[in-house]
A and B are shown apart, each in its own frame.
Chain A
Amino acid sequence: MELRVKVLDFKTSILRLSQAIRQGVFLVCLGALLAAGFNGIRPGGLPWIGQWSPSSVTASYLQDLQGISLAEAWSLYQESKALFLDARDPVSFGEGHITGAMNCPPGETETSLEEVLTLARSGLEVIAYCDGVGCSLSPELARTLQRFGVPSVKILEDGWSRWLEAGYPIGEGG
């Protein structure tokens, strides 16, 4: 008797699951159809195929600022010709940053401005980075520093993630 109940329960569960899968597939199709229709008629809809290479993304999000490629940044790092500025908050910086980078969140530039200016004038290329494409911290930092007289600040877009992915040297702590 108990075995029959168990078999019945198992069958019911399988039936429920297969019903759920059928309904789920239908809901996905419905969602995809709605998405295609809505995206087609809305102004400023997203193209189905987009350009998502680091260089094209950098170009479209930096506007007036100058970007720098990861390869160039790495090359300058190896030649010790770059000053990396980490625009993220101190906690994120403490958890990990490009080795030798200075923590310089956009709202706290005054404390490190003198040092940055001196290093920039000594010939180092100033490179600001934060994390994620469209992260506004490094462009904000670059604009602030340029306003205060730093001649050129380049942006390493999506810098932290790409530096990490490339396996380049990182440091921890303050």
Chain B
Amino acid sequence: MRTRIMAWCPSPFISCLFRWLLGALFLYAGVVKAADPHGFALALYNYHLLPGWMINPVAIILPSVELVVGASLLAGIWTRGGALLASVLLVIFALALGISLIRGFDIACGCFSTSSGAESITWLYVVRDIILFVMGVHIILFDHRTASLDLLLRTKSR
């Protein structure tokens, strides 16, 4: 079974490509949110999913976690941990978007911009997060440490 799955994902370059793509996206998202914590807190509040006391702590911590995940994936260090965290976050984001869309909210995503005047959320945002989630799972299962710091450190220590 695994051999069959591997046949679908033979190239280490695919997981490397996914790693860089996810890494760059998370790094960018983290920088945008870290630059405007007030705007991001507002975006979080607009989802009406978190209790008031959780909004500021999440608005403070989440951008840094995204930065760390982005750096981990781009550099290829602790790649599986970074990919797992990215996947978990993407599931949470997709759920939050889906719930808000079902509830009929017409709010800004807060994903790559903290402006409240940004484009409203649509189901395309959920599809985007699901595609990125699949990339994350692919990295966890099939990453070959191509062009990664993990590989470099391992080679040096031998």
**A173 beta carbon closer than 8 Å to chain B:** no
Count of residues in B whose CB is under 8 Å from the partner chain: 47
B16-43 residues with Cβ-Cβ distance < 8 A to A are 34, 37-39, 41-43
Q: Give complex CA distance A138, B24 in Å.
A: 35
| Chain-A contact segment, one of B49-57, B90-98, B126-134 | B49-57
Q: Give complex CA distance A164, B46 in Å.
A: 13
Query: Quick one: closest B residue to A21, CB to CB?
Result: B84
Query: Quick one: closest B residue to A10, CB to CB?
Result: B2
The A contact surface, by secondary structure, is helix
Which residues does chain B contribute within 8 Å of A25, judged by CB atoms? 81
B81 touches A34 (CB 8 A): no
Q: Give complex CA distance A137, B116 in Å.
A: 10
A164 touches B81 (CB 8 A): no
Q: How many A-B residue pairs have CB under 8 A?
A: 142
The B contact surface, by secondary structure, is helix
B84 touches A24 (CB 8 A): yes
A131 touches B106 (CB 8 A): yes
| Chain-B contact segment, one of A47-55, A67-75, A116-124, A141-149 | A47-55
A23 touches B81 (CB 8 A): yes
Query: Quick one: closest B residue to A170, CB to CB?
Result: B104
Within 8 Å by CB of B52, from A17, A22, A51, lies: A51
Q: Give complex CA distance A136, B68 in Å.
A: 32
Within 8 Å by CB of B81, from A27, A46, A161, lies: A27
Report A61-99 CB contacts with B as 1/0, cut-off 8 Å.
Answer: 000000000000000000000000000100010011000
Q: Known contacts A19-B80, A28-B65, A31-B68; decide if A49 and B56 are in contact (CB<8 Å).
A: yes
**Interface size, A (range):** 35 or more
Chain B contact residues, CB within 8 Å of chain A: 1-2, 34, 37-39, 41-43, 45-46, 48, 52-53, 55-57, 59-61, 63-69, 72, 78, 80-85, 88, 103-108, 116-117, 120, 140-141
